[in-house]
């Protein structure tokens, strides 16, 4: 068998969409829309709601809350009721919007796969609001996992743990003997999960293969008419998904997917931090002999814009020179061009659309803006897109991982 042939056999979203699921989801839904932004501060910073929705009796708190807050709390209750009835509800987390369903209900979870067109072998993360919910889901939490939860929950860290048989639908775990669990650091997500009073399975609320949503409007673009409802809590904060890890009994924490909690942060708590070897193969000419990733989702070509995208890495001046020339050539060929650049270079590029990812030394901003920028490339009809690489340290590991996935691993080294 030739190498070429093996490549074709590599699973990816493009050659393995779950068509039957997509067909099933064409059943029309009347997607409800709840705007609960009144529960948050204007800058998008979360106010400490800090009470479970169930405990907020609309009568007892009525004097304290404004009419808008009251309406928003009632909306959260309605959304929670939807989840309890086995419907799908999209909601904000601190990372990206998730598409939630009662993790115990196979029917509800299947509706999530169907709405997204998600391959069924890609397991879902289960979201909880309280530590008490964890022991119902898993059989064992080792010392290393305990330490991580103490340090980073609630927050953008997902732990892969041994699943308690029967605790969640087998569709959630895609037949694995582990379940991925996280406690999001977002008052709307926490209140919704607490009010629904069930573990909530939630992948990112995008159609499979599209960038994850960082605004309720992105969820609408992808899933309106396919899901039960959308809770609008304004823009998400981190912008890239949670870090997925597995903690070994020897104290080694293995990163299966880089994300909002950095390797450096994990190192401060864990005895040793390792990275799934399948991830290290990325962007370094990883071929079909690369090991299969332990996080099944990492093998799919996610986030790809419609246009061709390449990532350019090297000394800043060489990156800028290469990019300027490539954009000019592309424009001459008649391409519609777009560039994702750091603030120091953004102004010097000539393209149909220029997206600034913020300062190269402040990668929180790049993480926050990345998915919206990729979506905008499609909106602008860009056919040729160049993205500047960033440092792979800190949050840069997650940003580069997502950029390279979006680029189908097209990395150009210059200088
Ligand atoms: O920030 C996030 O994690 C967002 C928000 C909504 O919480 N969720 C999210 O879910 O990114 P999703 O489904 O897009 O990605 C889940 C990732 C996939 O790569 C999946 O393969 C992996 O977690 N995963 C889930 N269960 C797993 C398991 N038992 N073992 C290994 N990887 C698992
Ligand atoms: Mg996703």
Is the CB of 185 inside a 6 Å radius of any atom of ligand 1? no
Q: What is the distance between the alpha carbons of residues 212 and 312, in angstroms, rounded to a whole number?
A: 22
Mutate to test the pocket of ligand 1, among 204, 261, 279, 368 (most ligand atoms within 8 A of CB): 204
Tell me what pLDDT residue 304 has: 82
**Ligand 1 pocket test: which of 297, 298, 405 has the largest number of ligand atoms within 8 Å of its C-beta?**
297
Q: Is the CB of 241 under 6 A from ligand 1?
A: yes
H/E segment holding residue 373: helix 363-379
Q: How far is the CA of 120 from the centre of ligand 1 (A)?
A: 13
As given in the structure block, the two tokens for residue 405 are 């996935």
Regarding the beta carbon of 243 and ligand 1, being less than 6 Å apart is answered no
What per-residue string of b and e applies to 232-271 under the rule 16 or more CB within 10 Å gives b?
bbbbbbbbbbbbbbbbeeeeebbbbbbbbbbbebbeebbe
pLDDT average, residue stretch 33-39:
95
pLDDT higher for 50 or 228? 228
What b/e string do you get for 66-76 counting C-beta neighbours within 10 Å, with b at 16 or more? eeebbebbebb
178-182/252-257 β-pairing: unpaired
pLDDT at 7: 29
Mean pLDDT along residues 37-42: 80
The pLDDT tens digits of the residues spanning 276-298 come to 998 876 655 444 456 777 887 77
What is the overall mean pLDDT for the chain? Answer: 87
Q: How far apart are CA 164 and CA 159, in angstroms?
A: 14
pLDDT tens digits for range 88-115: 999 999 999 999 999 999 999 999 999 9
Mean pLDDT over 246-266 rounds to 98
pLDDT, one tens digit per residue, over 53-62 is 344 444 444 5
| Alpha carbon 262 to chain centroid, angstroms | 15
Res 57: pLDDT: 47
**What is the CB neighbour count within 10 angstroms for residue 153?**
18
First vs last Cα of the chain: how many Å apart? 37
């Amino acid at each position: 068998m030739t190498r070429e042939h093996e490549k074709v056999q590599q699973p990816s979203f493009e050659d393995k969409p779950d068509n039957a699921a997509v067909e099933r989801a064409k059943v029309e839904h009347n997607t409800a829309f709840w705007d609960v932004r009144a529960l948050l501060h204007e800058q998008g910073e979360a106010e400490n709601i800090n009470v479970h929705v169930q405990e907020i009796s609309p009568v007892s708190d009525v004097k304290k809350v404004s009419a808008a807050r009251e309406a928003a709390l009632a909306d959260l209750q309605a959304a929670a009721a939807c989840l309890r009835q086995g419907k799908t509800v999209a909601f904000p987390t601190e990372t990206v919007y998730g598409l939630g369903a009662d993790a115990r209900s196979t029917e509800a979870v299947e509706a999530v796969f169907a709405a997204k067109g998600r391959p069924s072998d890609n397991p879902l993360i289960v979201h909880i609001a309280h530590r008490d919910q964890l022991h119902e889901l898993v059989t064992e939490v080792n010392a290393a996992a305990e330490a991580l939860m103490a340090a980073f929950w609630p927050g953008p860290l997902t732990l892969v743990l041994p699943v308690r048989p029967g605790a969640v639908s087998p569709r959630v775990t895609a037949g694995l003997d582990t379940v991925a669990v996280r406690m999001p650091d977002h008052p709307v997500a926490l209140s919704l999960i607490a009010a629904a009073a069930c573990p909530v399975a939630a992948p990112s609320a995008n159609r499979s293969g599209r960038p994850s949503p960082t605004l309720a409007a992105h969820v609408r673009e992808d899933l309106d008419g396919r899901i039960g409802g959308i809770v609008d809590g304004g823009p998400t904060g981190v912008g890239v998904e949670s870090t997925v890890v597995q903690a070994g009994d020897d104290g080694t924490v293995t990163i299966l997917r880089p994300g909002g909690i950095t390797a450096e942060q994990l190192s401060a708590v864990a005895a040793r931090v390792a990275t799934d070897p399948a991830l290290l193969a990325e962007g370094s000419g990883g071929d079909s002999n690369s090991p299969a990733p332990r996080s099944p989702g990492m093998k799919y070509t996610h986030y790809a814009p419609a246009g061709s995208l390449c990532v350019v890495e090297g000394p800043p001046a060489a990156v800028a020179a290469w990019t300027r020339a490539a954009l000019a050539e592309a424009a001459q060929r008649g391409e519609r061009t777009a560039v994702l650049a750091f603030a120091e270079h953004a102004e010097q590029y000539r393209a149909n659309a220029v997206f600034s990812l913020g300062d190269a030394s402040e990668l929180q901003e790049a993480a926050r803006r990345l998915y919206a920028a990729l979506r905008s490339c499609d909106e602008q009809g860009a056919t040729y897109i160049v993205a500047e690489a960033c440092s792979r340290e800190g949050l840069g590991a997650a940003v580069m991982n997502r950029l390279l996935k979006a680029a189908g691993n097209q990395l150009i080294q210059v200088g």
